Amino acid sequence: MSHSPKVVLVTGASGGFGDVLARKLAREGFHVYGTMRAPSAAAAELPFTMLPMEISDLASIDACVRAVLEREGRIDAVVNCVNQMVIGSVEEQTVDEVRAVYETNVFGVLAVCQRVLPVFREQRAGTIVNMSSLGGLFAVPHMSAYTSAKFALEALTEALYHELRGEPIDVVIMQPVAMRMDRPALGSHLNTVAGVGPDSRSQRMVEQMAADTAASTLTPEAVAAKVHAVLLAESKPLRVPMGRARPMSLLKRLAPQAVVDKMIGALLPD
């Protein structure tokens, strides 16, 4: 029988979904370690331990993992919630702006996975949960940096899943749609690239995304509850689509391109 996850590392727990998840798991009795660049800036009273981690720095990732192992002697699961998004067309964005998204959403997550795999293999148990999104299913115009990074994350995670088959290590991709969160409508999660002008369609996409997020029926608490259930499950699926991602993942696999084109067109602002 597999060891139920008890010690969990949640990367990107300084706010947003990562914070909600870390609090949820702590309430459920997990020993939770969250990460952020500067833990001194964290809220004074947290129900979990916050550790420093710079996701683009391999030494920082290594130090964070070692700190958890020194305190607990094991890590049962890692949930990668680190996430960066920028909005802008392919022509508006610079290579450096796209590279920065990949540094967090792809290379940073990859580095965390590589660091914990030897720990899991030695323990003969462990779970990796990578947070994708609807952006991992569809290439959305004006969001090519974010959606292409999520495509890459999905491919890396699925490849890892196949590489580890037969070993006592689980790999899961969570696919929620935009979550309704209590934060400013046009907050820091909806950044545009520097080349976006005030009349750009990309700017209108920001406003539309803010409205869509505010109208979402999926809450971070519901997604956190699903992650909690996955961590406790004896048999874990590769992908866990949530909300509209369920029918849309089926549509992506089965619908003709013309139908997909029409659906993507409906996402674009006027």
End-to-end CA, the chain = 55
Q: Does residue 24 have an active-site annotation?
A: no
Length of the chain: 270
Q: Which two tokens stand for residue 83?
A: 């996430």
Q: Give the DSSP H/E element, type plus range, for residue 79.
A: strand 77-80
Q: Does residue 146 have an active-site annotation?
A: yes
The torsion angles phi and psi of 194, rounded to 5 degrees, stand at -65, -30
Beta carbons within 8 Å of 57's beta carbon, 6+ residues apart: none
Closest CA to 192 of 101, 81, 80, 56: 101
In the set 24, 33, 133, 146, the catalytic residue is 146
In the set 132, 133, 148, 202, the catalytic residue is 132
State how far the Cα of 170 lies from the Cα of 208, in Å rounded to an integer: 36
Task: Judge whether 107 and 56 are in contact, CB under 8 Å.
Answer: yes
Q: Does residue 161 have an active-site annotation?
A: no
Q: Does residue 148 have an active-site annotation?
A: no
In the set 33, 133, 144, 150, the catalytic residue is 150
Residues that are catalytic: 14, 132, 146, 150
